[in-house]
Amino acid sequence: MSRIPISPRTARPTIASAVLAALLLLGTPSAQAADPVSSCRLSGTTGWTDEGQNTDYNVFQRPTGTKKVIMLFADFPDAAATETTSSDAAQLTPVKDWMWKASYGKTWLDISQHNEWLRMPKNSTEYGFERGFSHETHEEYIKDAVTKADPKVDFSQYDMVYVVATKNAKAISFTPTYVYDPGTTGIRADNTIVKWAVTFGQDMWDFGPKVAAHETGHTFGLPDLYSFDSSSDIHRYIGGWDVMGNVSGKGPQFFAWHSWKLGWTADDQVLCRAKAGTDTVYLSAVEYTSYKKLAVIKTSSTTAYVVESRRAVHNDENACSTGALVYKVDTSVKTGEGPIRVMDAKPNDVPKSGCHPLDDAPYWINQSFEDSNAGVKIEVTATDGYGDTVRITKS
């Protein structure tokens, strides 16, 4: 599979759409020139994974460049492996190309496999894998796997560790992320500290490589976008948009806000409206590489509305709908409590079979979103196969 994502140029759009895109890229007259992009950066306030632009890279992993990953395979006295390590790896390694496309070629996961089963010192049922288990309990599990592999693996050569449990270990039920807590002893091997790890459980057989993308996203500092409150629809905030929400969602490409936060989208691909004014801009779909990617309307020191374009291609090939996707970002909201919330253009429509009610949320031509209290209006004025033209107004 090619590691080069297709852009609107290489996809050969029609001459008319290419000319339209070029003209719109130059901008159209507005009530006031767009504001400096720095004006639309929001700082996180929750103290952990959040939607702020000020990610602490003393804690989290920088999300660009080559990330060297060692994949370990664990079985247990009460759950011996009967499958091959290669069959387990095949469920996850396609994340390499998935992440390459998602990052526009800015991030490559170089995954090496230590192809032997590491017999863990405890039964699988003794590792306490339950939702909400402690950092220390998780660390102990990873430390046992690393200790077993250490005689044959030089951990100083790797940025991150993936620990894959045998399919027979039903007690290792889910897939959490480990981030080293500075100031603690942590896990040490080969004169290095294991700072980032993902331990894969039974849900990898349902979610495949996208669960690796989701959990690796946490090592980059991204929050969960599904609800931790399971008393109602846990995907009520964003539906199937962005892999940090519903891992099996139909539109898993990272939001343009995330792409900007992670350094995959450049400042010159962002249009910022922080003061009163109006702008018209052509937004190339986030699944492609070039042109403007998002328009941001800042509404407070911690909030903004964002609009981006979506198309059913590449990582989003199974998207339930396309168009201009509008959402609100709030960096004061904690992970799992809805720091991003999608605005639904069609709240009364019945979604397609297999789609979440928010999966048809994008706005189409001649549709608009408005928050009168915030003085925000977003209108879709034109569309083509590669993006949408939107007019944004802040009063």
Over residues 8-29, mean pLDDT = 39
Amino acid at 268: D
- 284-294 pLDDT, tens digit per residue, is 999 999 899 99
Q: How confident is the model at residue 28 (pLDDT cuts 50, 70, 90)?
A: very low
Residues contacting residue 186 through CB under 8 Å, at least 6 positions apart: 139, 180, 193, 194, 195
pLDDT of residue 22: 42
CA distances from 154 to 93, 189, 208, 251 (A): 21, 8, 27, 38
pLDDT of residue 87: 97
User: Does 21 or 226 have the greater pLDDT score?
Assistant: 226
Alpha-carbon gap, residue 275 to 343, rounded angstroms: 22
Percent with pLDDT over 90 in the chain? 88
Q: How confident is the model at residue 235 (pLDDT cuts 50, 70, 90)?
A: very high
pLDDT of residue 25: 42
Alpha-carbon gap, residue 2 to 257, rounded angstroms: 25
pLDDT of residue 132: 82
Over residues 35-54, mean pLDDT = 93
pLDDT of residue 298: 98
- Asked whether the CA dihedral 176, 180, 186, 191 is positive or negative, the reply is positive
pLDDT of residue 290: 87
DSSP state letter for 359? G
Max alpha carbon distance in the chain (Å)?
A: 70
- 165-175 pLDDT, tens digit per residue, is 999 999 999 99
- 258-301 pLDDT, tens digit per residue, is 999 999 999 999 999 999 999 999 999 999 998 999 999 999 99
Q: How far separated are the first and last CA of the chain, in Å rounded?
A: 47
Q: Cβ atoms within 10 A of the Cβ of 115, count?
A: 12
pLDDT of residue 9 exceeding 50? no
- Asked whether the CA dihedral 261, 266, 268, 270 is positive or negative, the reply is negative
Strand partners for 387: 284, 384
Alpha-carbon gap, residue 306 to 326, rounded angstroms: 6
User: Does 33 or 364 have the greater pLDDT score?
Assistant: 364
- Strands 303-310 vs 294-298: parallel, antiparallel or unpaired: antiparallel
Q: How confident is the model at residue 16 (pLDDT cuts 50, 70, 90)?
A: very low
Our measurement of the distance from residue 307's CA atom to the centroid of its chain's CA atoms, rounded to an integer in Å, reads 17
Burial class for 347, CB neighbours closer than 10 Å (0-12, 13-18, 19+): exposed
Residue 208 token pair: 């495949």
pLDDT of residue 26: 39
Taking all residues of the chain, what is their mean pLDDT, rounded to a whole number? 92
- 89-138 pLDDT, tens digit per residue, is 999 999 999 999 999 999 999 999 999 999 999 999 999 998 888 999 99
pLDDT of residue 13 exceeding 80? no
- 141-191 pLDDT, tens digit per residue, is 999 999 999 999 999 999 999 999 999 999 999 999 999 999 899 999 999
pLDDT of residue 154: 98
Burial class for 58, CB neighbours closer than 10 Å (0-12, 13-18, 19+): exposed
pLDDT of residue 213: 98
Q: Cβ atoms within 10 A of the Cβ of 16, count?
A: 9
User: Does 15 or 243 have the greater pLDDT score?
Assistant: 243
- 290-347 pLDDT, tens digit per residue, is 899 999 999 999 999 999 999 999 999 999 999 999 999 999 999 999 999 999 999 9
Alpha-carbon gap, residue 120 to 124, rounded angstroms: 8
Q: What domains can you pick out in the chain, each with its CATH number?
A: 15-55+238-394 (no CATH), 65-219 (3.40.390)
